[in-house]
Chains A and B, each alone.
Chain A
Amino acid sequence: MLSRDAIESFDHLFEHAIHDNSVSADDVLTQMTRQQERRIAADGESRRLVVLNISSYVFRVVALFDFATDEVTRAHLAKILRCPRSQMEGQGLEDAYAELVNMICGAVHRGLSSAFSHGGMSTPLMLENTCERYVSLLNPSWTQSYAVEINQTVRFNLMACVCVAKGLTLDFALDRSLAQEESAGELELF
């Protein structure tokens, strides 16, 4: 179970992490909507699901990113990662998804470190997008989906699940000004 402060803190962290890391200087984050339920891609639809975990002693955050594989998404990834567009194929494209996920989750992890001195982050892994249907198996205490639209063309989804140890209530409130300052300029080591 999460307190209201904890929910607002997680929401704030993810919102700012997406905003700070998924757009370059000349891009516009045209839309970011929160959804309780989100449409799961149909079988055969060309999308990639990337999963990453942030763990602490009493909770873990499972972040599931749902990316399209279309041309505009590839071009956007190449732009924000400063890679040649030609690299956005096969393993190069998967690495680009993983890098973007690392950047966003790294910002969330750094933000959490002000409240939780000990925490760790996993490496991102690819799954079939149909796996997202079974998130309830993880017994999340709180989930929030974000539908992100950049330049009205690039779209991706993020589902954040926070799983808290049984019988515990996670209660913390971030110093948002501090979290904002710490969201830039640090390296995340694995």
Chain B
Amino acid sequence: MNFFINSWLPLAAGVVAPLALLMVVWWRVAALRGAHARQLAARDALIAGFAGHVSAGELDARLTRSRLEQEQEWQARLDALAAQHLQQLADAGSTAMIECEQTLQQLRADYDQQISHARASMMTEHAALGREVDLLLGMVQTVERWHDEMQAILVNNRHIKEQNDSFARIVKNVVMLALNASIEAARAGEQGRGFAVVADGVRDLALTAGQLAQDYKATLDKNDLVTTTTFQDMQASGNMIRTTVFGLRACSDKILATIVAERDALC
């Protein structure tokens, strides 16, 4: 028995094991072949399905449709993005507009305030200028005062001249008297000699006085000419200044008109 076992067992093992292995391999191969056959069948069915139902044109159409659908999808996305961006842009623009408007309003308010301040300042300065111009025009009264004083000087000079003329006439008469006295002294002869000396002395004095009266008249003439022309220079210069001040007032009035017109245009 043992021998049987010992002799057949390895033999059996040597036959059964490879047989079993072969069986396993065969089963495995069969399984793979079945799977492969199913895949082939599925492929064939797919091929048959494709071959039976999808033409090349339809395939192109499907591909085109697929592309179109994809394009439409992307376009939709792009449109959505564009719309989103446009909205954002519009929002940003609107915000910027509001901020800009606010800034402009602020600037305008500041500008109006500055203009108003400057206008008020100019009006004040203009009023002050007007007062100064009016005061300057008062110099007409000064020139009139000079004129009155000048007339007084001229009248006084004329009076002095008349007095001098009277003096000159008196001196002339004294000369005549002295001459007559000399004649009378000569008639009196020896007794009149002393009187003749006196008469000659009086005549010499009268002639000297006459020369003095002439010199005095010349001085008065010089005084008249210089005084009169000096006064006239002052009077003419006063007129020149007055004309200039009138010109200043006209300029000042133009400035005021410009300020008022600019203010009215803004209101």
| Interface residue? B232 (CB, 8 A) | yes
| Interface residue? B237 (CB, 8 A) | yes
In the complex, the answer to whether A120 meets B237 with C-beta atoms within 8 Å is yes
Residues of chain A at interface, number, CB under 8 A: 27
Near B by CB (< 8 A), chain A positions 120-134 give 120-123, 125, 127-128, 130-134
Rounded to whole angstroms, the CA-CA distance of A135 and B226 in the bound complex is 9
| Interface residue? A102 (CB, 8 A) | no
Interface 9-mer from B186-194, B217-225, B251-259: B217-225
| Interface residue? B32 (CB, 8 A) | no
Q: Which of B218, B229, B242 contacts A53 (CB 8 A)?
A: B229
In the complex, the answer to whether B221 meets A130 with C-beta atoms within 8 Å is yes
- CB-defined interface of A138-161 with B at 8 Å, one 1/0 digit per residue? 100000000000000000000000
In the complex, the answer to whether B240 meets A122 with C-beta atoms within 8 Å is no
In the complex, the answer to whether A125 meets B239 with C-beta atoms within 8 Å is no
Rounded to whole angstroms, the CA-CA distance of A125 and B230 in the bound complex is 12
Residues of B within 8 A of A127 (CB): 224-225, 228
Residues of A within 8 A of B218 (CB): 133-134
Residues of B within 8 A of A122 (CB): 231-233, 235-236, 239
In the complex, the answer to whether A55 meets B237 with C-beta atoms within 8 Å is yes
Q: Given the known A-B contacts A53-B233, A138-B226, are A120 and B221 also in contact in the complex, defined by CB atoms under 8 Å?
A: no
Rounded to whole angstroms, the CA-CA distance of A127 and B228 in the bound complex is 8
| Interface residue? B130 (CB, 8 A) | no
Rounded to whole angstroms, the CA-CA distance of A131 and B232 in the bound complex is 15
| Interface residue? A166 (CB, 8 A) | no
| Interface residue? A54 (CB, 8 A) | yes
In the complex, the answer to whether B221 meets A134 with C-beta atoms within 8 Å is yes
Rounded to whole angstroms, the CA-CA distance of A60 and B237 in the bound complex is 9
- CB-defined interface of A29-48 with B at 8 Å, one 1/0 digit per residue? 00000000000000000000
* Most A-side CB within 10 Å, residue of B217, B225, B228, B244: B225
Rounded to whole angstroms, the CA-CA distance of A120 and B243 in the bound complex is 8
9 A-B pairs with least C-beta separation: A120-B240, A120-B239, A53-B232, A122-B232, A55-B236, A120-B236, A131-B225, A122-B235, A122-B236
Interface residues, chain A, with chain B CB atoms under 8 Å away:
51-57, 60, 62, 118-123, 125, 127-128, 130-135, 137-138, 190
User: Known contacts A54-B236, A120-B241; can you find 15 more A-B pairs with CB under 8 A?
Assistant: A60-B236, A119-B236, A119-B240, A120-B236, A120-B237, A122-B239, A125-B154, A125-B231, A127-B225, A130-B217, A131-B225, A132-B225, A134-B222, A138-B225, A138-B229
A-B contact pairs, 7 of them (CB 8 A): A51-B228, A54-B236, A55-B233, A56-B240, A62-B229, A122-B235, A128-B224
